[in-house]
Chains A and B, each alone.
Chain A
């Protein structure tokens, strides 16, 4: 399409608003967009509006006509979201001229016309939209309401009737519109009936009470009128308007929706989370935070391949993004590519050194690679961030022990027990360390046995049985140690835990030989 690009002031162009037939098929008259002065904008707004303008201006020379129209339209949505009415009106007008088959631009020019008092122009454009996108839910409703505003009751009635027929789910606003018309035409009883039906469908549409009050007053029933006046509020009979909702979303930075998504995840509302993250990605398909959060979310739903794609996209856009690296590391670890995973965990920690989870993940990875000393350092860093985290304290103690520093392991686990005296994980670890560390004294060995027996009494499982065995042996009660160790081995067999069995059997032999357990966590040593 050959275009004649003539920039006209917006007001002058409004005379050309409609009909579109006024535009020649092979040329479009463009209007000058009154860009806002971004220097004057609030930083929060500027960081959304300025890139939109910059992007448009950068792309303007290279875009083809329809694509340029879409670019105008997208920029217009940003303007409209911040109620920069004049800039939005001009942008959408140009979008409509350049991309005339897209009903959305007509719709937004119609809204602009409606809001600036050009009701006739708005109605003509809404009718065009209706012809182009007959299923869009809100067009008929807008035609009805604007016709009502313009005093065209017959047109309004026709639109509301059609809405009622085509979109039964939008019956409430349609009935409200028809009821209003009936009242204006003094068909009071009918109006009351329609409005009351609308209220049944949408009791939250409290504005209808006012109209009902007026109707009852005219019918002479002032008691009922006053009753409805008491209930009147400001909620109108509502219908969804997806294009407008999407436009409004542009008033918020995608990070707002990412945050909403994160909050929803915390509250366990995964569908809501997905909706917010989806919106964030719709607003900014290259939003790395949204990509990664969405990857987590769909990964939870076992859509592993989709998650991997999102993560790869995120890493392409931001190779140093913390969560993206963390997720990529986790994916590789799942494939038992521990060494490769570790490189991503490392980047995640570097990207966010204060991120506790990344630290723990990195430390766990180091454990898998038997780099206990480095793992102990990372656990220590993680504990600096969350000193009371029991599992990290446990990991720290295990790393120190396996690194050959049993005394330091005892110190860290003591701190853990002090912080959480009733946590089984740390109590169990302390019992094992007291039972196996050469530095432990007699009273500590006795304490180990007390704690181990208490834990076993509370939760008689294989893990606790093995700890009791260690503590029994440490206190010279080898026969009992063998009983408990036998039970632990039985549990491991029952659970199919072959990795643990080997260390257990070795310790059994040690108990038979009246020796102490070889290590607090023999299964890790034997790996």
Chain B
């Protein structure tokens, strides 16, 4: 019943930027003033979440602020684009779907939401940490972070101090993950380096020209792990879990069960240092197995500048493979999972290596943009040191590069289809954060890109304009009011009895949070039975769900098919 790849006729205009026309009016302000402060070049992320539980995805965009101890807005190289307060912004999606016609419209609801995030923002993580059925927001900053509790009425309250999840260091990517399987989401916060305005350095290019420094100019920071006590507060267990003793210039974080033992592990992408694969020992410990697992360094054994990371079963073999973005000339890296949590660097044969030589990648996501049943790949690019031709042309922020789209053609190979995917993939910007989700609820995956010192882009997937008939789809949204849903897995049984599990997550990419819902592609059927493996391993089936739309599934509302089954593998009949 799961869809076979259809004969595809990819439209040359697969994606169109509808940010402006839909009211997603946001321009990132990086606070630069010619000092070449390290944070101004990094840029920030974006979150896709249904904060008002109205069934569509809203957008949270992380904003910068003026950088420098004695600087004010008049010093800014690029002044803020609008008169709006320089804070993170929350845009409500007022989606209207009338039959086949869909109308996207966003309204800036930051003020009425109560969110006041005026720090120098970096990243966003989403998850229902208090299991009250609505999604909360954790914002990482260059400085203290913030946890915004969703009150369920369209407003948020800053509970950072009460919850005990502040981290004053430079946080970038974070992940809500129930690492101890107690039913409550814990929080892993990836910290970058110890840059301050006092230890700010300007680095020199080989020509002696001033340029941004690499992270090696500063000391790497250790990450943080906060254990959710279940009462709205967290305990810092970084030391006990072994996280505090492991500094690492973290930019990307993704949690998943990489070795299929039922426990959530955490992969940490470090910039210029060996990456971590923190294997969950089930006893509260996170043990770095990256080296032996083959995901610490590249094939040649060299650490690389890892930025963003995404996990997905790109080869359809039932385990999660890792893809991460790197610095120009390093090539991005594809680590293929052998099913046991050990990986092999298969970048060279995948087509992803040579095509990334010229780019510095940040946000990235596996997404089946063409609905052929294979995970494709989106990569947001933007340099971290001056592009000389742009500098010579007078560009004051000369870090622009084009983004890339890769189509999975099977056999472990992806081909660069950027040229045919619309002008969005030929224009250059300093792209950083990437979040994916079905913003218009039409069953195909859209993309939001945050650009450093540039407007956010909403890349609406126009897959429905293609010549061939798109497959039937079924959207699943899990209800968090009855317990944690992050880490759950969802599958529909295929004709040969095989279950292709898709996991529920929001983390990954760079500093961003994606849609927690899952879209399953099917052959042309009007309904399907869905199986959910809840975090902890309980299995439950939901029968005869109608295709072509989303279903909110609550634990216990379906039919229990097994209990306590933690491992992966085929479902019993």
Residues of chain A whose beta carbon lies under 8 Å from any beta carbon of chain B: 10, 34, 36-37, 40-46, 49, 82-87, 115-117, 119, 148-151, 153, 180, 184, 207-211, 213-214, 217-218, 222, 225-226, 229, 232-234, 236, 251
Q: Is B388 an interface residue when CB atoms closer than 8 A count as contact? A: yes
Known: A42-B207, A42-B208. A214 touches B300 (CB 8 A): no
Q: Which of the residues A34, A151, A153, A211 comes within 8 Å of B392, measured between beta carbons?
A: A34
Within B340-395, the residues touching A (CB, 8 Å) are: 342, 344, 348-351, 353-359, 388-389, 392
Q: Is B7 an interface residue when CB atoms closer than 8 A count as contact? A: no
Q: Let me know if B300 and A222 touch, CB within 8 A.
A: no
Bound CA span A318–B297, Å: 55
The secondary structure that dominates the B interface is loop
Q: Let me know if A115 and B357 touch, CB within 8 A.
A: yes
Q: Which 5 A-B pairs have the closest CB atoms?
A: A42-B208, A210-B301, A117-B357, A117-B358, A151-B349
Proximity string of chain B (180-219) to chain A, C-beta cutoff 8 Å, 1 when within and 0 when not: 0000000000000000000000001111110000000000
Q: Which residues of A contact B389 (CB under 8 A)?
A: 10, 34, 86
Bound CA span A153–B300, Å: 16
Q: Which residues of B contact A213 (CB under 8 A)?
A: 291-292
- Provide 26 A-B residue pairs closer than 8 Å at the C-beta atoms, listed in order of the A residue: A10-B389, A34-B388, A34-B392, A36-B207, A36-B388, A37-B392, A40-B207, A42-B207, A43-B208, A49-B207, A82-B207, A85-B388, A86-B388, A86-B389, A117-B356, A150-B348, A151-B354, A207-B302, A210-B297, A210-B300, A214-B344, A226-B292, A229-B291, A232-B301, A233-B301, A251-B206
Known: A117-B355, A229-B291. A36 touches B392 (CB 8 A): yes
Bound CA span A234–B300, Å: 8
Q: Which residues of B contact A83 (CB under 8 A)?
A: 205-207
Q: Which residues of A contact B357 (CB under 8 A)?
A: 115-117, 119
The secondary structure that dominates the A interface is helix
Q: Let me know if B292 and A150 touch, CB within 8 A.
A: no
Known: A42-B204, A150-B348, A151-B351. A115 touches B329 (CB 8 A): yes
Q: Let me know if B392 and A149 touch, CB within 8 A.
A: no
Q: Let me know if B348 and A151 touch, CB within 8 A.
A: yes
A195 to chain B, nearest CB (A): 11
B106 to chain A, nearest CB (A): 36
Within B294-347, the residues touching A (CB, 8 Å) are: 294, 297, 299-302, 329, 331, 342, 344
Proximity string of chain B (391-404) to chain A, C-beta cutoff 8 Å, 1 when within and 0 when not: 01000000000000
B: contact size bracket? 20 to 34
Known: A41-B209, A42-B208, A42-B209. A211 touches B301 (CB 8 A): yes
Q: Let me know if A82 and B392 touch, CB within 8 A.
A: no
Bound CA span A213–B205, Å: 35
B299 to chain A, nearest CB (A): 7
Counting chain B CB atoms within 10 Å of each CB, the highest count among A40, A151, A209, A217 belongs to A151
Q: Which residue of B lies closest to A180 (CB)?
A: B299
A149 to chain B, nearest CB (A): 6
Q: Which of the residues A82, A210, A217 comes within 8 Å of B342, measured between beta carbons?
A: A217
Bound CA span A116–B392, Å: 19
Known: A36-B388, A210-B297. A149 touches B354 (CB 8 A): yes
Q: Which residues of B contact A207 (CB under 8 A)?
A: 300-302
Q: Let me know if B349 and A236 touch, CB within 8 A.
A: no
Q: Which residue of A lies closest to B331 (CB)?
A: A149
A8 to chain B, nearest CB (A): 14
Q: Let me know if A211 and B208 touch, CB within 8 A.
A: no
Q: Which residue of B lies closest to A42 (CB)?
A: B208
Q: A45-B206, A82-B207, A115-B329 are in contact. List 13 more A-B contacts (CB 8 A).
A: A34-B388, A34-B392, A42-B208, A46-B208, A83-B206, A83-B207, A117-B359, A149-B331, A208-B301, A214-B294, A217-B342, A229-B291, A234-B302
Q: Which of the residues A41, A180, A217 comes within 8 Å of B207, measured between beta carbons?
A: A41
Q: Which residues of B contact A87 (CB under 8 A)?
A: 388
A338 to chain B, nearest CB (A): 49
Bound CA span A10–B393, Å: 14
Bound CA span A49–B206, Å: 12
Q: Which residue of A lies closest to B291 (CB)?
A: A229
Q: Which residues of A contact B351 (CB under 8 A)?
A: 151
Bound CA span A493–B351, Å: 89
Q: Which residues of A contact B206 (CB under 8 A)?
A: 45, 82-83, 251
A146 to chain B, nearest CB (A): 9
Bound CA span A211–B298, Å: 10
Q: Which residues of B contact A234 (CB under 8 A)?
A: 301-302
Q: Let me know if A229 and B209 touch, CB within 8 A.
A: no
Bound CA span A211–B345, Å: 11
Q: Which residues of B contact A184 (CB under 8 A)?
A: 348-349
Q: Which of the residues B204, B344, B353, B358 comes within 8 Å of A116, measured between beta carbons?
A: B358
Proximity string of chain B (217-254) to chain A, C-beta cutoff 8 Å, 1 when within and 0 when not: 00000000000000000000000000000000000000
Q: Which residue of A lies closest to B329 (CB)?
A: A115
Q: Which residues of A contact B354 (CB under 8 A)?
A: 117, 119, 149-151
Q: Let me know if A148 and B388 touch, CB within 8 A.
A: no
Q: Which residues of B contact A153 (CB under 8 A)?
A: 349
Q: Which residues of A contact B302 (CB under 8 A)?
A: 207, 234
Counting chain A CB atoms within 10 Å of each CB, the highest count among B351, B354, B355 belongs to B354
